[in-house]
Amino acid sequence: MPFHLHFGQDDLLRCRFAVSPLWETQEAVRTLKRPERHAYHPQWLREIRAASREIDLSALWLLMPRRGHAPDFLGPPPIGPAARFDEEIAGVRATDPAAAEEDMARALACTPGAAASPKGRALLADPAGAVRVLADVMETAWHTLVEPLWPRLRALLEADVAHHSRRLAEVGLGGLLPELDRRLSWDAGTLTVEWRGEHVRDLSGQGLVLIPSVFSWPDVVSGFDPPWQPTVAYPVRGIAGLWAEPASRTPASLVRLLGRGRAAVLTALATPDTTSGLAQRLGLAPSSVSAHLAALRDAGLLVSRRYGHRVIYTCTPLSAGGGVAQELE
């Protein structure tokens, strides 16, 4: 059954995009228990497999049922367009214990026997302590599973926001929402989300938060009950090239044309990135990458867009998807 989110006039003015490291951390933890997601993140799984075994994620997994409610306080709507993890986890730690107890009880009720298990009973018996423990585990998961790769993930997420912000200006909200994912549809001021379960909510002037996500791929996630702001997380664009190793697939013909450094940078930009992100991925000096980016931009092969304090580089249609290399070969 679908979710229906009803917009009023004020809601149309209060829709925003956001990027959330806390959301990605929560979904990374969930992905470890969802084999159907593993094919989208093979390199990440290889890189974190050993480290993930050192974290006891059982309490978080107990609150992540296959179907039904997951605690909103563990992955709330982002507080801003580009919040830091430390800011977001501070909000989790400040959760009212009574609200946390109710939220956890709803989640545990979705898995038969979970509330009566020793860990489930412990969570409900001491909700204040549960908030501390869960926040600690989430912070460890962030440092272990997501933070080492965050610059690369963030660049992809921010490029998605930049792209869809332009589309919003071109086609309006009603035209944009179905473009985010095929499971979203818009009709007469109502956003319908195809999802497991049924949820109806009047946005009541709060608007909507739209979050591109790497680790919730390929799912669309919605919900959030009052007082949380209504939110939809959707699959980020460009996931296919995210985990590829750029240096190992730089076409020889492109190297002959552009030189090895510029060819490697252009090939790596199948996934949008920043100067520092590219330097780390390719093992090049940031100054060299910056010079290559300037030359490629001047040639019309990429564009740059500012997102907060960072500049994200993306291929133009001329070079996107390796088109230049394919033509050469």
pLDDT of residue 325: 42
Report pLDDT for 328.
41
Shared-domain flag, residues 235 and 164: yes
pLDDT of the residue at 326: 43
Are 203 and 274 in a shared domain? no
Provide the pLDDT for residue 225: 79
Tell me the pLDDT band of 246, cut-offs 50, 70 and 90.
low
Give residue 115's pLDDT band: very low, low, confident or very high (50, 70, 90).
Answer: very high
Tell whether 12 and 157 lie within a shared domain. yes
Residues 270 and 310 in one domain: yes
DSSP helix/strand/coil, 40: coil
Percent of residues, the chain, with pLDDT higher than 90:
45
Give the pLDDT of residue 319. Answer: 63
Q: Beta strands 199-202 and 3-6: pairing type?
A: parallel
CA nearest neighbour of 155 among 278, 15, 263:
278
Domain of 299, CATH number, reads: 1.10.10.10
Tokens 């100054």 belong to which residue? 287
Residues 285 and 319 in one domain: yes
State the residue range of the domain holding 309: 244-328
**What's the average model confidence in pLDDT over 182-205?**
85
Q: Pick from 239, 270, 298: which residue ends a domain?
A: 239
Same domain assignment for residues 256 and 324: yes
The answer to whether residue 131 is domain-embedded is no
The mean of the pLDDT values for the chain is 86
DSSP helix/strand/coil, 305:
strand
In a domain, 292, yes or no: yes
Instruction: Write out pLDDT tens, residues 51-80.
Output: 999 999 999 999 999 888 899 999 888 887
Q: How many domains does the chain have?
A: 2
Q: What is the mean pLDDT of residues 193-208?
A: 82
Q: How many CB atoms lie within 10 A of CB 172?
A: 12
| Per-residue model confidence (pLDDT) at position 96 | 96
Q: Three-class SS of residue 318?
A: coil
Together in a domain, 251 and 276 = yes
Q: Exposed, middle or buried: residue 28 (CB in 10 Å: 0-12, 13-18, 19+)?
A: buried
Percent of the chain with pLDDT over 70: 92
CB distance 246 to 282 below 8 Å: yes
Q: What are residue 106's DSSP bridge partners?
A: none
Query: Of 243 and 20, which is predicted with more confidence?
Result: 20
Alpha helices by DSSP H, listed for the chain, are 9-12, 21-32, 35-38, 42-52, 58-62, 85-93, 97-108, 118-125, 127-141, 150-180, 252-258, 260-268, 275-282, 286-298, 323-328
Identify whether 323 is part of a domain: yes
Single out the residue in 189, 220, 239 at which a domain terminates: 239
Does the pLDDT of residue 322 top 70, yes or no?
no
Distant-in-sequence, close-in-space partners of 14: CB < 8 Å, separation ≥ 6:
205, 206, 207, 208
Do 234 and 299 lie in a common domain?
A: no
43-47, 102-106, 315-319, range with the lowest pLDDT:
315-319
Return the ∠ at Cα 29 (arms to 103 and 27), rounded to 5°: 75
Last residue of a domain, one of 205, 239, 273: 239
pLDDT-wise least confident of 12-21, 134-143, 182-191, 221-230: 221-230
Return the pLDDT at 6.
93
**Do 279 and 317 belong together in one domain?**
yes
